[in-house]
Chains A and B, each alone.
Chain A
Amino acid sequence: MSTIALTAPAAMPGAPARSSGYLVLAPSCLVLTIFFALPMGTMIGMSFMDAQTLSPTLLNYQRFFSDGLSLAGLYRTAVMSILVAVCVTVLGYPVAYYLARSRSRWRALVFALALAPELAGVVLRTYGWLIILEDRGFINDMLINLGLIASPLPLSKNLFAVVVGLTHVVLPFGILSLTTSIQGIDPNLERAAQMLGASRLSVIRHIILPLSVPGIVSSLLISFTMAASAYATPALLGGARFKVLATMIYEQVLFYIDWGFAAVMAIALLIMMLAISFLGIRYETRRGNRRSNREGEAS
């Protein structure tokens, strides 16, 4: 969720028609105001209101911090997202390295296999995992039929199932950001090190991994934020026993009809995501500073 670096286009013919420029912006601004800014404002307002009487109150916030369930949900969300971020980055790295370096004709196939599933939608993939992991699903069925286990292993409706499902959903994004980063590393560095007798392992350890840290960080960040805000996968694979903030928000809106409390949970989720993005931005700036310092020393 980074913002675009607005590299000024190589000196466009600066047109004086400023007013028409703003006019052209108007539809986008209007749409985003009505269907994004105002709703967000309403939601923040609702979080300070009693759902029944609409009178101002801080009770929703108090409840969030004191009922034990909400903080547990927040904690589960964080743990789940961290695990997903790590799994995605670890699993995605070899594939990303291959995609960045290979010139083989298989590359296109690997690329398609790695990224095409993203286009298939979350339901299809989550449904696939449901069939595989369910108590009476593929794996348990097979193990029971083979006589290896007597009762099904607890593979679904828990943290494990949700992490597996979400890792699968998020993996293509992790692979993309890692690939881009590894592509940016000069392959000559690796070649030079190898010619100087470095083993493959030490090339990986001392050159590739350190230089791809920015890609690793961005993969971790993207995965974390995508996992924390996912709804369908935790709902289907986590069930009643593994509820995260997203599923709890849904329940507050569509079952208990407590909008004020739903708003507080939504804000908590939002703050967690913004905090993570902020860490990412700070990392980027610090890195940028260090680099410019180094360049300053060199000159």
Chain B
Amino acid sequence: MNRVLTCLFWLAIALVLTFITLPLAVVVAASLSPSSAVTFLPWEWTTVWYGNLLADRWLQPFLLSVKIATVVAGISGVLGVLAAYAVVYERLPGSTAIMAGLLSPLSVPQIVKGVAIVLFLSIIGLQGVLGTPALIAAHVVLALPFVTRMAATSLANFDGNLDRAAQSLGATKRQRLQHIVLPMIKPGVLSGVTFAFIISFNNIPLSVFLVRPGDTTLPIAVINYLEYSLDPVMAAVNVASMIFILTVIFLFEKVGGFSAQLHGGSK
């Protein structure tokens, strides 16, 4: 009986992992397939589709996505740390209400936020900011609550005794912030910033309303292209962008060593 159960358990895990990896494997396979129809024969492969990646059609959106994601990660990192600092460290009166306000965008679906922003910009006649400025602003709204929450959690979990010890030894507030508080919350903040980068880089529901010609992010360029064609170039673009994201995470991990945070506190 227990044997059967164990077998079933492993079978279930194997099936779920197959389910998770299947579409990714198919895309990788398709990107290496020599046939222009999307099929895969393991004994024939080519990297010819990857040659298309350097064309402006993909390079421009990619660079724009990287730029926007970097700026968004930077802005929401700074703003999120400041807000968490004010609410958690300074313990301003009404901090629970303030925190709820800061996190409120989380409970609104992205597509609703997207519609709201595009209506608002059109109504007040700012259609000129569609494109990069609107994308940055919208992505910051999206990412900021996550970064604030992660920074706040780090601050809340951080051992106040260290801070008090430093204070009693005569450290100024500035010194304490610089040498104790910030280093302690660095992993949390960095994982928040990485998350902000990824959220922005992969975003569709907000971006779809806010891009403009010549100012299109990579995921939107991809779904626009899918409207006309389902060819292996698409697969190559997607694989390349996944590799890019994994590299970014690897680099941030090297800098920040936040894997413990990202792994949801598993021991």
Chains A and B share a contact (CB less than 8 Å): yes
Q: Are B83 and A28 in contact (CB under 8 A)?
A: yes
B66 contacts the other chain (CB 8 A): no
A43 contacts the other chain (CB 8 A): yes
Q: Are B1 and A200 in contact (CB under 8 A)?
A: yes
Chain B residue at minimum C-beta to C-beta distance from A171 = B20
Q: Are B16 and A91 in contact (CB under 8 A)?
A: yes
Q: Are B209 and A10 in contact (CB under 8 A)?
A: no
Chain A residue at minimum C-beta to C-beta distance from B82 = A24
A150 contacts the other chain (CB 8 A): no
Q: Are B156 and A9 in contact (CB under 8 A)?
A: yes
Q: Are A1 and B89 in contact (CB under 8 A)?
A: no
Which A67-100 residues have C-beta < 8 A from chain B?
91-92, 94-95, 97-100
Residue of A3, A110, A120 near B103 (CB, 8 A) is A3
Residue pairs across A and B with CB atoms within 8 Å: the count is 296
B66-90 vs A: 1/0 string, CB under 8 Å? Answer: 0000000000001110110111111
Main DSSP-derived SS at the A contact region: helix
Q: Are A121 and B241 in contact (CB under 8 A)?
A: yes
Q: Are B103 and A42 in contact (CB under 8 A)?
A: no
CA distance A121 to B197 in the complex (A): 12
Which B18-65 residues have C-beta < 8 A from chain A?
19-24, 26-27, 30, 37-39
CA distance A262 to B114 in the complex (A): 11
CB A290 to nearest CB in B, in angstroms, measures 24
A172 to chain B: which residues have CB within 8 Å? 20
CB A258 to nearest CB in B, in angstroms, measures 11
B115 to chain A: which residues have CB within 8 Å? 43, 249, 253, 262-263, 266
A131 to chain B: which residues have CB within 8 Å? 23, 26-27, 30, 38, 230, 235
CA distance A98 to B14 in the complex (A): 11
CA distance A176 to B261 in the complex (A): 12
Q: Are A259 and B160 in contact (CB under 8 A)?
A: no
CA distance A239 to B139 in the complex (A): 27
Chain A residue at minimum C-beta to C-beta distance from B249 = A119
Among listed A30-38, A55-63, A291-299, interface-contacting one: A30-38
Q: Are B264 and A229 in contact (CB under 8 A)?
A: no
A64 contacts the other chain (CB 8 A): no
B182 contacts the other chain (CB 8 A): no
Q: Are A9 and B160 in contact (CB under 8 A)?
A: yes
Q: Are B226 and A127 in contact (CB under 8 A)?
A: yes
Chain A residue at minimum C-beta to C-beta distance from B220 = A123
A17 contacts the other chain (CB 8 A): yes
25 cross-chain CB contacts under 8 A:
A4-B103, A6-B96, A7-B156, A9-B160, A22-B86, A25-B82, A28-B102, A42-B123, A43-B119, A94-B9, A119-B245, A121-B245, A124-B241, A128-B24, A131-B235, A132-B22, A132-B23, A134-B230, A168-B23, A225-B109, A229-B205, A231-B110, A250-B111, A259-B122, A269-B111
Q: Which A residues fall within an 8 A CB radius of B? A: 1, 3-4, 6-15, 17-18, 21-22, 24-25, 27-29, 31-32, 34-36, 38-40, 42-43, 46, 91-92, 94-95, 97-100, 110-111, 113-114, 116-117, 119-125, 127-132, 134, 136-138, 141, 168, 171-172, 176, 179-180, 183, 199-201, 225, 228-232, 235-236, 246, 249-250, 253-254, 259, 262-263, 266-267, 269-270, 273-274, 277
